[in-house]
Structure 1
Amino acid sequence: MNSRRLAIAIGAVLVGAFLAGTVLGAAGVGTPEPVVTLENDDDVTYRVTAYTVEDRDAAGYLNFEVTDGGERRLVTYADLVWPGGYRNVTLVDEAVDRDEIVVGPDETVTDSLEGWTRGDATVYVVERGEDRVHRRSQTVSCDRRGQEHELRFSSDSGAGSTTTCAGGFGWLVR
């Protein structure tokens, strides 16, 4: 009889914890804007520009000016999905929130992205070195608070990334 009561009590606690997490998650607990961590294991500086747009579709319509073969020209975000030898990537569209983060060799930098609201997508443009060679672009779409984005750079293995779209218990206490 005691084991049955214990099982019911444990079940009730688990259900209560699940429901509390669901209610708190729906209420929007956690940092309102994404938190990005840049980890640079390379021997050169990286410049990462994060743009906040209303959704993935809007990201596809962004226009950038780039240096290509010594000439400046316009490209769309679709042209930046893969590295193409571009340099000095600059957004030409107005009214787009942006955060520029510079991370030096063997540094780790953490920052929150201002201007993000629920439902927005984040577009990252990564440039390497003093020549600002375009290395990659990436779009993160998550409509929850408590997002964590991590981008890693190294000379031998290139770049990697991790995105946490809220989860665990860390987002409950921020």
Structure 2
Amino acid sequence: MVSRRSLLVGGGLLVLTLVLTSGVLGVGTPEPVVTLENEDDATYHVTAYTVTDADAAGFLNFEVTTEDGQRRLVTYEELVWPGEYRNVTLVDDGVDTHSFTVEPGETTTGTIDGWSRGDATVYVVERGTEREHTSSRAITCKRRGQTHSLTLEPSGSEGSSTCAGGIGWLLRG
């Protein structure tokens, strides 16, 4: 006959195993964490969009202001060159969007909510009150525990990403 104590210990071990396994297998996948460091004397506006994959990113539609002040529509693929556009605004519906404002000398960290395993994160970076487009980047990573970092500077933004770092992802979400 099995004692109650043995059943409780066995049940507790089973629950613990299920929790740890769900963390490893990606149930409740935690979203990417982004760190934005402003090394410029201007304010930056960084907008992150979550899309299903890198191909979908290329088809995002934005309204922009051109150098001669005209408003027009462009796709994400057309945001390759910095400085051509200002006031970049997504016009597509149903895209998870997260905006960050980073003041001069400031470092900001945030979570990109709405991300699911396999999604791509698209960043559009704008500088100053004119919101001059300085860079765009799409980060694809099919694994959990992502960290993204962008250093914002007058010559453009430099960035890096890590698909999975440390064991912190086991303890998150």
SS at match of 1:139: strand
Which residue is 1:86 aligned to? 85
Residues 50/109 of structure 1: CA separation in 2 closer, same or farther (3 Å cut): same
1:40 aligns with 2:38: yes
**Which stretch has the larger CA shift, 24-33 or 60-69?**
24-33
Where structure 1 has 5 or more consecutive residues not aligned to the other structure, the ranges are: 1-22
Which residue is 1:11 aligned to? none
Superposition TM-score, scaled by structure 1 size: 0.81
The amino acid across from 1:121 in the alignment is A
* Matched-pair identity in %: 64
SS at match of 1:172: helix
Residues 151/54 of structure 1: CA separation in 2 closer, same or farther (3 Å cut): same
What is the distance in 1 between the residues matched to 2:28 and 2:148?
A: 14
The alpha-carbon deviation at position 26 of structure 1 amounts to 4.1
Q: Is the 8 A contact 2:85 2:133 kept in 1?
A: yes
SS at match of 1:44: coil
Q: Is the 8 A contact 1:119 1:143 kept in 2?
A: yes
The amino acid across from 1:65 in the alignment is E
Which residue is 2:12 aligned to? none
The amino acid across from 2:92 in the alignment is D
Give the 5 Å matches for 1:26-105.
26-28=24-26, 32-68=30-66, 69-105=68-104
Count of residues in correspondence between the two structures: 151
Give the 5 Å matches for 1:1-174.
26-28=24-26, 32-68=30-66, 69-155=68-154, 157-174=155-172
The amino acid across from 2:61 in the alignment is N
Residues 165/37 of structure 1: CA separation in 2 closer, same or farther (3 Å cut): same
Where structure 2 has 5 or more consecutive residues not aligned to the other structure, the ranges are: 1-20
Q: Is the 8 A contact 2:52 2:118 kept in 1?
A: yes
